[in-house]
Structures are given as C-alpha cells and as structure tokens.
C-alpha cells in the first residue's frame, strides 16, 4: 500500500505497545493516524481486511512453532525477520574481558569469543542481532512484528512507588523524574483499564502508593498458587535489611474475575479468563493475557487509522529553518529475507517515535544527514543511559511439594524490598516468585529428567551412561519436580551515560542495509551491591523456609560478571529503559514530561526509553500511562 501521498495528523513509527496505545487515543479524538510498522502483520489487523497483506502471522502458527521448538525461549514462537531483525536470548554470550574488574578470562566451558563477521547479514544475524561491546552483554530482547514485544511480556503490571520518581531528592542518586506519582495516578487508572489488570487495591497500597477515591482494579486479584501461600506462611513476619518479606499478589494484565467498576459497570474486555497455561512468556495460547494487538484492533475500528506493515523507518527529515520534522522515510520489502523493494516518505502534522527503546534511539541517531549528532539530540543523551532490571535468580527444592508448572508464570512477589534507606547505598529490588519450577534457571523439566535418565559422563563426552527408568524414574520426577521453585530479583539500575549506550553500527547492517544496534553495557557498584544483597536475601529466605538451595550456574549464563571475587549471572528482564529520557531541561534530557522533543516542536518520543530511572516495577504499565499522557498533550497541541 502506498500512503505516501496522503496527509495525516500524526505519523507513528512502531505498531507495538506504545504505538498501539497512541494510535487508539489519537484516533478516538478523531485524528487521522498513520502507523509504520517494521515487522509483519498479525492476521486481521490490517487497515482494509480485504487487502492482501504480503506476510502475516497468527497465534495458532506461533503456538505450533513454540511446540516444535527444542529451546522454548521467549523468541521461540516467532521466526526471525532479516529485514526487521530482533535479538534472541540464546545469543547472549560473555564478552571477554567480562567485567571491568576482571582479567581477560572466559568462564569455564564458554565458547571462544567470535569476531563479529557481518559480511553476510543473514548468517551474521543468526549468531545474534546485537553488536555487543560489553563489558557485560546486554541481556534483554524484544520483538519486531505487529504488537511488538507485548507478544512476550509476562503480564506484571505494578505501579511505581512515589519515591521512585524522586531518587535524587530522597536518596541523592541519579536524577528525579520531571513528574511525580500524583501526576500519573489518573493515567495509571486508565492504563490499568486498557490492559485489563487483575489486582486488589488494599494489597497494593504499599510504600506510599495511593489510589483515587473508590478505585477498584478492573478485575479481582488472580488467586495465589500453593507456592505463594507456602512462601507467605514462612516469610510474612520476616525482614531482610529492614524490609518486610511479606508475599503479596502481583497485579497482572491477564483476565480474572471482573470487578464492578467505580461507574457501576462490570469490567468486560471480551477476552477469555486465564486457564493457567503457565506460558505467559513466550505466548499466551488463549489471549487471556493482554497484548497490544487488542488496542490496535480497537484503533483500526475507529476508521481513523491506517497501518503499513513491512515499513522500516530509516530517516526522520527536518526543515532546517523551523527545525520541525517534515517526514519519515521508510524502506519496504516483500519477504522476510528478500530485498528492499522501495523507499517512501510518510508525512503528517505530528510525528511520534514509538519503536522500542533501542530501535527508537537508533532511528534518531541514524537520521543524521542534516545534524551530525542525530535528530532530537541537542542534549547528547539519545541512546545513552541504557538500563534494564538485571535479574538475579535463586532456586531450590522446598521441603514439601508446592506443585509448580501450574497457573500463570508468576502470581505473587515480595515488594517490601523495593524502597528503604539502603537506596542511598545500593540498588533496591523486587522479588518475583516463579511458578515454573527451574524452567528458567535450570531448563526444567528437560535437564533434570535427562540427568536422571542419561547422567552426563565425567568427561562430558557423548558416551552412553547408565541412569534410572520405569517406576524409579517416575518416583524421582514426582519427588523432585513437585518441590522445584525459583525466585527472581529485579534489580534497579542507575543511568550511566558513559558506559551504557547504544549507537547504530557503522560496519554491521541488516538485510535492508539498516545499521544494527551496537551496545555498550556494564553494571556499576550500586547495581552490583544490589546483586550482592539479592544473593544474601536468597540465602536468608531459603534458610528460613528450610529450602535445599540449588542456586548455581544458570543455563543462560552469558551475563556473568564478577564482584568482590564472586561470580554473578545476570539475566535480562526485557525492560529496556532510559535511551530517550525525559527531564526538566534541554541540556540533559531528550524530551519534556509530555515526551515532546526539546529540539523539534512536532516530534514526540514515547516508550520505556522515556524513563529517567528504572525503579523496580516492571515498566510497561507506567509506559502505557506515559503514552496516554503524551496522547493528551498531542491532542491538546492541535487545539
């Protein structure tokens, strides 16, 4: 479809989470919107249903690919697209030297570092899309297709804490946000409605979080698992480093039992109730869990939205007199491995980049034909301050069965550890309780059953060994797997412009010839102290509960680093933040609090990249609230 001649009120780059939320909001206010989406379409989510979309995907196909995948990673349901590639967790490998304070030495068994050969984009991308410069590899991934990374989110939808917005003021760390909790409170209500969050207001009033008068979440809290209750029974009265270890239900963007809302109506989003498939990441088979295609479908229903898939934005053009954006150039392709089929320009009155933290920064920095530093980059902060919630995993066997592998992947967590005086010294964290046994750290159930049936010979060779079978095997499975559990610490990271950033590669390109993200990443002492505290908290919790501690080297051990002589294995959380942060001045931030570029009056940049600091809450509920805030500002700017 060639929409290059049509004039729109707004052009949105990215048909993922933030892009769908913005498109829906603007279209509902009667604005004409064009969405450029780099990846392939989802069946039915097209401007004109009769139109023959070049390539599409759908949930049933994704499920089939997931069932057939040997490694059931977050990416396993979704095939790679060489014209809009995305990173994959299996590609995360240590980069020597793997820490700043460690000599050039690879952990035992790690493959030698491959020099990145990108002569052939496809074979090179198969070895990993990111150009990882380290010293620590960036561990998080995302998805580039209609719906974006919402295809593999877990569903956790916690609000940020009031103190999270004021890290500088309260703890003299990093920067404050240009807004406070009270500025987002109403937008949180709206975001929770759009996503469809199940939670209990009383339980969520922690660390100063308040709710508007009479507020109820759209749906009642998701029932706790046997594991959650076991942990709460043992930990409710315990503290670690002054923080309560009480276990509370986690607000989740998955369907539970509808509540009667403030307006008297029962919430109903038309989707099914969670069946406990224990598969929220990488894919919910029945769409009980929210994803952005829900919102994009509503946006398209307004009739005010056109969407072009297989349209990779590559350049934002400027009027050098007014400094306003004049258009977005994009490249098209017919198949996911085929050649570029053309370059077009989309034009509108307002422009919104909602292409995910890393791709958004890359696009702004690539659009540098007129200004060498790139678009929206007077501050020099575009692409800088790359952050995640690096995760520490602890795992073990409970003394009694807790029956994991049942219910949503996570239903509860420990939130008491998210704020406290310690934040002036070390990172805070929240503790997620996993209902999927050792699936994440230990490749369960596969790896442990194989250890029972075909133990690895001491020389690690392929020689046959003698294991157990029959009744003994069945008994072992029952006794081991019913007691497996893991906890995961989402650890705070501070913005670090000098050591954590992304730039478009000058030497490595994807199949369309678009630069790949080159990533520099590290952990500072604040975060590493957070890891140290997480390990200590794991020991404390496991001792208190009488758990057999099996924490060791996780299967995904690429994020290894060493601190004070101890090795830690960081996992990515998928929470990519900071790369186009908002702030109060043009000198040290990319946008204002409405996510409008300081430099270009008609350009907005929206996503988790807008967040100046990470807090410890999974970021996307807050990002959705921010997207609605930006949408209001954009709508008002037309008036």
Ligand X SMILES: Cc1cc2nc3c(=O)[nH]c(=O)nc-3n(C[C@H](O)[C@H](O)[C@H](O)COP(=O)(O)OP(=O)(O)OC[C@H]3O[C@@H](n4cnc5c(N)ncnc54)[C@H](O)[C@@H]3O)c2cc1C
Cα 2 from chain centre: 32
CA angle centred on 271, ends 266 and 274, rounded to 5°: 95
Tell me whether residue 96 or residue 285 sits nearer to ligand SF4 (CB atom).
Answer: 285
CA-CA-CA-CA dihedral for 259, 263, 264, 269, to nearest 10 = -50
Query: How many residues contact ligand X, by CB under 6 A?
Result: 43
Query: Scanning residues 402 to 421, which ones bind ligand SF4 (CB under 6 A)?
Result: 408
Question: DSSP letters of 411-445?
Answer: -EEE-GGGSSGGGGTS--EEEEEESSTTHHHH-TT
Query: For the window 313-352, what string marks contact with ligand X as x by the rule CB under 6 A?
Result: x---------------------------------------
Tell me whether residue 83 or residue 230 sits nearer to another protein (CB atom).
Answer: 230
Q: Does 10 bind ligand X (CB under 6 A)?
A: no
Phi–psi pair at 605, nearest 5 degrees? -130, 115
Question: DSSP letters of 56-89?
Answer: EE-HHHHHHHHHH-SS--TTTTS---TTS----G
Query: Scanning residues 72 to 111, which ones bind another protein (CB under 8 A)?
Result: 72
Tell me whether residue 294 or residue 519 sits nearer to ligand SF4 (CB atom).
Answer: 294
Q: How far is the CB of 572 from another protein (least distance, A)?
A: 20
Tell me whether residue 136 or residue 252 sits nearer to ligand X (CB atom).
Answer: 252
Of 33-41, 180-188, 302-310, 552-560, the segment contacting ligand X by CB under 6 A is 33-41
* Token pair listed for 514: 């678009």
Return d(Cα 173, Cα 613) in angstroms, integer.
10
Pairing of strands 7-13, 501-509: unpaired
Q: Does 274 bind ligand SF4 (CB under 6 A)?
A: yes
Taking CA atoms, 160 is separated from 220, 487, 538, in Å, by: 20, 21, 24
Of 149-157, 338-346, 472-480, 555-563, the segment contacting ligand X by CB under 6 A is 149-157
- Residue 17 binds which one of ligand X, ligand SF4, another protein, none, with CB within 5 to 8 A depending on kind? ligand X
Return d(Cα 433, Cα 534) in angstroms, integer.
14
Return d(Cα 208, Cα 211) in angstroms, integer.
10
Residues 297, 147 contacting (CB under 8 angstroms)? no
Tell me whether residue 96 or residue 401 sits nearer to another protein (CB atom).
Answer: 401
Q: Does 439 bind ligand X (CB under 6 A)?
A: no
Q: How far is the CB of 458 from another protein (least distance, A)?
A: 11
Q: Does 220 bind ligand SF4 (CB under 6 A)?
A: no
**Consecutive H or E run containing 196:** none
- The DSSP call for residue 559 is T
Q: Does 465 bind another protein (CB under 8 A)?
A: yes
Q: Does 458 bind another protein (CB under 8 A)?
A: no
Q: Does 225 bind another protein (CB under 8 A)?
A: yes
Return d(Cα 50, Cα 46) in angstroms, integer.
9
Which listed residue (8, 17, 66, 351) binds another protein by CB under 8 A?
66
Phi–psi pair at 518, nearest 5 degrees? -105, 125
Alpha helix ranges (H) inside 208-366:
226-235, 292-301, 357-366
Return d(Cα 556, Cα 613) in angstroms, integer.
26
* Token pair listed for 73: 């990673």
Tell me whether residue 146 or residue 256 sits nearer to another protein (CB atom).
Answer: 256
* Token pair listed for 598: 């300081």
Query: For the window 267-306, what string marks contact with ligand X as x by the rule CB under 6 A?
Result: --------------x-------------------------
Residues 164, 551 contacting (CB under 8 angstroms)? no
Q: How far is the CB of 527 from ligand X (least distance, A)?
A: 19
Of 144-152, 160-168, 447-455, 583-591, the segment contacting ligand X by CB under 6 A is 144-152
Q: Does 536 bind another protein (CB under 8 A)?
A: no
Phi–psi pair at 520, nearest 5 degrees? -110, 130
Of 98-106, 140-148, 233-241, 446-454, the segment contacting ligand X by CB under 6 A is 140-148
Return d(Cα 435, Cα 446) in angstroms, integer.
16
CA-CA-CA-CA dihedral for 576, 580, 581, 587, to nearest 10 = 150
Q: Cβ of 31: how many Cβ atoms within 10 Å?
A: 23
Of 137-145, 258-266, 478-486, 515-523, the segment contacting ligand X by CB under 6 A is 137-145
CB-nearest residue to ligand SF4: 277
Residues 84, 472 contacting (CB under 8 angstroms)? no
Query: Scanning residues 212 to 251, which ones bind ligand X (CB under 6 A)?
Result: none
Which listed residue (56, 277, 349, 482) binds ligand SF4 by CB under 6 A?
277
Return d(Cα 533, Cα 418) in angstroms, integer.
12
At 560 the three-state DSSP class reads strand
Which listed residue (139, 445, 574, 609) binds another protein by CB under 8 A?
445
- The DSSP call for residue 94 is -
**Burial environment of residue 208 by CB neighbours within 10 A (0 to 12, 13 to 18, 19 or more):** exposed
- Residue 254 binds which one of ligand X, another protein, ligand SF4, none, with CB within 5 to 8 A depending on kind? ligand SF4
Tell me whether residue 9 or residue 291 sits nearer to ligand SF4 (CB atom).
Answer: 291
Pairing of strands 548-549, 560-563: unpaired
Query: Scanning residues 281 to 340, which ones bind ligand SF4 (CB under 6 A)?
Result: 284, 286, 288-289
Query: For the window 351-390, what string marks contact with ligand SF4 as x by the rule CB under 6 A?
Result: ----------------------------------------
Of 58-66, 200-208, 358-366, 574-582, the segment contacting another protein by CB under 8 A is 58-66
Query: For the window 387-426, what string marks contact with another protein as x by the rule CB under 8 A?
Result: --------------x-xxxxxx--x---------------
- Residues near 385 by beta carbon (within 8 Å), at least 6 away in sequence: 495, 496, 497, 500, 501, 578, 579, 581, 612
Applying CB under 6 A, the residues found at the interface with ligand X are 13-19, 36-39, 74, 84, 141-145, 148-150, 152-156, 281, 312-313, 354-356, 359, 363, 574-575, 607-608, 618-621, 623
Which parts of this chain interact with ligand SF4 (CB under 6 A)? Answer: 254, 274-280, 284, 286, 288-289, 408
Footprint on this chain of another protein (rule: CB under 8 A): 63-64, 66-70, 72, 223-226, 256-257, 273-279, 283, 285, 401, 403-408, 411, 435-436, 439, 445-447, 449-451, 453-454, 456-457, 460-467, 469-475, 477-478, 481-482
């Amino acid at each position: 479809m060639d929409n290059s001649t049509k004039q729109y009120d707004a052009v949105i780059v990215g048909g993922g989470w933030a892009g769908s939320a913005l498109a829906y909001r603007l279209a509902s206010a009667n604005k004409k919107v064009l969405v450029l989406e780099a990846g392939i379409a989802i069946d039915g989510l097209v401007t004109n249903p009769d139109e023959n979309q070049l390539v599409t995907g759908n949930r049933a196909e994704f499920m089939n690919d997931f069932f057939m995948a040997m490694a059931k990673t977050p990416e396993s349901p979704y095939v790679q697209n060489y014209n809009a590639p995305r990173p994959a967790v299996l590609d995360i490998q240590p980069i020597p030297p793997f820490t700043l304070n460690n000599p050039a030495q690879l952990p035992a068994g790690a493959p030698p570092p491959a020099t990145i050969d990108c002569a052939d984009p496809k074979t090179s991308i198969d070895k990993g899309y990111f150009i990882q410069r380290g010293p620590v590899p960036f561990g998080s991934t995302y998805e580039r297709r209609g719906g974006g990374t919402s295809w593999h989110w877990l569903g956790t939808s916690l609000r940020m804490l009031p103190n999270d917005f004021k890290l500088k003021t309260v703890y003299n760390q990093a920067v404050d946000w240009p807004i406070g909790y009270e500025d987002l409170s109403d937008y949180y209500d709206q975001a929770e409605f759009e996503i469809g969050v199940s939670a209990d207001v009383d339980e969520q009033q922690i660390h100063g979080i308040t709710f508007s008068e009479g507020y109820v979440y759209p749906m009642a809290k998701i029932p706790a698992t046997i594991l959650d209750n076991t942990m709460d029974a043992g930990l409710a009265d315990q503290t670690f480093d002054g923080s309560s270890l009480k276990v509370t239900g986690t607000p989740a963007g998955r369907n539970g039992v509808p509540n009667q809302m403030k307006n008297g109506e029962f919430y109903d989003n038309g989707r099914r109730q969670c069946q406990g498939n224990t598969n929220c990441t990488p894919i919910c088979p029945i769409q009980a869990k929210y994803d952005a295609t829900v919102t994009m479908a509503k946006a398209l229903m307004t009739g005010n939205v056109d969407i072009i898939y297989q349209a990779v934005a590559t350049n934002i053009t400027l009027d050098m007199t007014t400094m306003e954006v004049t258009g977005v150039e994009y490249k098209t392709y017919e198949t996911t491995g085929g050649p570029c089929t053309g370059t077009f320009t989309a034009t509108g009155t307002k422009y919104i980049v909602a292409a995910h933290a890393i791709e958004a920064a890359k696009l702004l920095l690539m659009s540098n034909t007129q200004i060498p530093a790139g678009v929206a980059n007077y501050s020099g902060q575009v692409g800088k301050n790359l952050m995640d919630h690096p995760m520490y995993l602890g795992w073990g066997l409970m003394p009694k069965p807790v029956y994991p592998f049942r219910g949503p992947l996570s239903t509860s967590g420990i939130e008491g550890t998210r704020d406290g005086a310690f934040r002036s010294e070390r990172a805070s964290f929240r503790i997620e309780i996993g209902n999927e046994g050792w699936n994440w750290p230990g490749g369960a159930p596969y790896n442990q059953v194989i250890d029972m049936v075909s133990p690895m010979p001491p020389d690690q060779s392929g020689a046959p060994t003698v294991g157990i079978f029959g009744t003994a095997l069945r008994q072992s499975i029952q006794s081991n797997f019913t007691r497996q559990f893991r906890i995961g610490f989402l650890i705070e990271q501070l913005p670090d412009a000098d050591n954590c950033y992304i730039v478009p590669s000058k030497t490595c390109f994807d199949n369309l010839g678009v630069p790949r993200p080159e990533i520099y990443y590290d952990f500072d002492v604040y975060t590493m102290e957070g890891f140290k505290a997480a390990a200590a908290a794991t020991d404390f919790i496991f001792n208190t509960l009488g758990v057999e501690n099996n924490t060791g080297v996780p299967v995904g051990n690429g994020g290894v680093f060493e601190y004070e002589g101890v090795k830690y294995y960081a996992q990515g959380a998928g929470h990519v933040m900071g790369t186009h942060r908002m702030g109060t001045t043009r000198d040290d931030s990319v946008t204002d609090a409405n996510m409008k570029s300081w430099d270009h009056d008609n350009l907005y940049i929206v996503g988790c990249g807008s967040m100046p600091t990470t807090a410890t809450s999974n970021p996307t509920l807050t990002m959705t609230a921010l997207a609605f805030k930006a949408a209001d500002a954009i709508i008002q700017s037309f008036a």
